[in-house]
Amino acid sequence: MDNGINILVSKIAHLVLFIIMSFSVAMAQPQCGNPFMEEFLQSKNPNYFDELNNYIENLRKIDQNASGQRNTITIPVVVHIIHKGTAPGVSFNIPESRIQSQLNILNEDFRRLNDDAVSTPALFQDLAADTQIEFCLANVDPNGNSSSGITRHQYNNIPNTDFIEDVIKPATYWNPSRYLNIWSVPIPSSESYILGYSYLPSNQVLGTHLDGVVLAHDRFGYVGSSGGRTCTHEVGHYLGLSHIFGNSTGSCNTDDGVNDTPNSSAPYYSCPSHPETSCGSTDMFMNYMDYVDDFCMNMFTEGQANVMRFTLNTLRPNLVNAAASVCDLETSLNQIVANIEVNIFPNPASDQVQIELPATNTKQLENIVVFQADGLAIPISHTNNSNVLELNIQHLKSGIYFLALRFKEGEMLVKKLLVTR
């Protein structure tokens, strides 16, 4: 072998080594599994990537600039806990409190009631959106039976994510036209870099067992270094959002199709310091659709909110319509509805809230109970000044709550309350 060939072989060997090392570094970074699972679908349908590209191009044609007051959309959720045989609350069989915390996080993030909303840089504050999308655990299953919205299933051996897609999902999912299916799964050690994944709403996915969100069990809700934002990110995909850096890294040639998210050449990790720039603009790395740590992301944009709502109204209309019958908390609490018109003010509120009963009311109030959006009851104290009830809500975090007024006549009245900080 002459010297020229030796040099060529050496260069090729170094190039292969560089590619392997680069791939290893990328895999070492915890990340969303969406790109890998898209490859999974492409292997089953050679037209899948073309369908995705058309979807993103079509996003540019919708009205992404609308802002202001929107009607609230509620999404029914069922959570499937996949475990290896331990008791509920132990190891992979995560406790109900974690599930409740994840629902709280989703509602806070999508309603921009998250405590760290103040951390959004001034440059992007005017773009940050309350999507007016909310989530609640289903209280009715597909057969019309009462449900907690939580199912538990034992699988002792999960070799890879293909097994999740081909075996676990088909055996456990609820009708995806009426429920957002979320799976908490022991991610196989060979793919432990995947924090979670979901698919964009393509024809190949919509209405099938593939439709929903998969989360690593240790990324579900508040636990350790997890702030529950993996779920926020993956639900973003489920509702039609791509990564804000597009479908490639190191290039400014692709983006997410959303007008008000600056073009970015690559994902950000850890917790960068603002400002960071690429592609000739300041990067919005604190967006939920980037890869930064949970406690460094804090916003969706108005454009993203409009894309998600467009997705719900056009591609997932049955999901929007299902909420009233399978998980409307106000309806489920109102077993015997008190026929009373009351005023709650201010609403949203921060420290105090007043409930004004009509002067003609003859019903006797027994107590007031505050429920979180996931149905968990929270103690509340109040004072009664004639027909005005004053409640101290300083101990409540930002979020969505329901005030349940119970009367001695056996009736109840429930009203929604937004708490902001």
Active site residues: 234
Query: E strand or H helix at 205, and its extent?
Result: none
DSSP, res 300? -
CA angle, 403 then 408 then 411, to 5°: 55
Closest CA to 305 of 67, 145, 141, 35: 67
Q: Which residue has the tokens 């679908």?
A: 41
Beta bridge partners of 79: 150, 182
Give the helix, strand, coil percentages of the chain, each rounded to 5. 30, 25, 45
Largest CA distance in the chain: 103
Q: Say if residues 255 and 261 touch (Cβ distance below 8 Å).
A: yes
Residue 404, exposed/middle/buried by CB under 10 A (0-12, 13-18, 19+)?
Answer: buried
Closest CA to 246 of 260, 232, 218, 267: 267
Joined together, the tokens standing for residue 398 give 């930002």
Cα 192 from Cα 213, distance rounded (Å): 17
Closest CA to 80 of 12, 7, 147, 11: 147
What distance lies between CA 169 and its chain's CA centroid? 19
Rg of the chain (C-alpha set): 24
Cα 398 from Cα 414, distance rounded (Å): 19
